[in-house]
């Protein structure tokens, strides 16, 4: 091998190695893990509606200077609002389930008889995965 080809090959290897080293050190420099505090971030904390309600009541008592009668009325308003939201939530869940069930029937209608058991097994697997994910999320 001639001297110029050898030096070109050596230069190419040196450039490759230096690029790799810069990439590794750059990655470590910019991807440093941060220290997490003892409290969970807001996105991962479990939502507690009762705690929110207590904070709202306490905040309004302090900042708006509600008297006891107004606190009782506010408590009743919050109860009624919660009930209305539950009714809406239940209605939407029922409508969503009906749409989902209709989709399943439509998909089953386009499948051949030999594909239906495979589809049912696939759906069961997806449901198990969703159930597992929901359990992980609620921990």
DSSP letters along 61-129, please?
A: HHHS---HHHHHHHHHHHHHHHHHHHHHHHHHHHHHHHHHHHHHHHHHHHS-TTTHHHHHHHHHHHHHH
Q: What is the pLDDT of residue 135?
A: 84
Mean pLDDT by 10 residues, the chain (139 residues): 79 85 77 58 68 91 93 94 94 94 95 95 93 81
Instruction: Return d(Cα 35, Cα 37) in angstroms, integer.
Output: 7
Q: What is the pLDDT of residue 122?
A: 94
Per-residue pLDDT of 60-88, as tens digits, reads: 999 999 999 999 999 999 999 999 999 99
Per-residue pLDDT of 19-29, as tens digits, reads: 888 888 777 77
Give me the residue spans of the domains in the chain: 1-30, 48-113
């Amino acid at each position: 091998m001639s001297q110029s080809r050898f030096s070109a090959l050596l230069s190419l290897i040196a450039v490759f190695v230096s690029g790799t080293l810069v990439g590794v050190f750059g990655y470590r420099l910019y991807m440093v893990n941060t220290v997490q505090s003892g409290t969970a971030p807001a996105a991962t904390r479990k939502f507690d509606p009762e705690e929110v309600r207590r904070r709202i009541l306490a905040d309004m008592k302090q900042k708006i200077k509600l008297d006891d009668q107004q606190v009782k009325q506010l408590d009743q308003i919050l109860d009624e609002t919660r009930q209305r939201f539950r009714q809406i939530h239940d209605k939407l869940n029922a409508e969503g389930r009906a749409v989902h069930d209709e989709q399943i029937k439509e998909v089953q209608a386009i499948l051949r008889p030999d594909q239906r058991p495979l589809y049912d097994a696939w759906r069961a697997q997806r449901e198990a995965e969703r159930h597992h994910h929901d359990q992980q999320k609620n921990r």
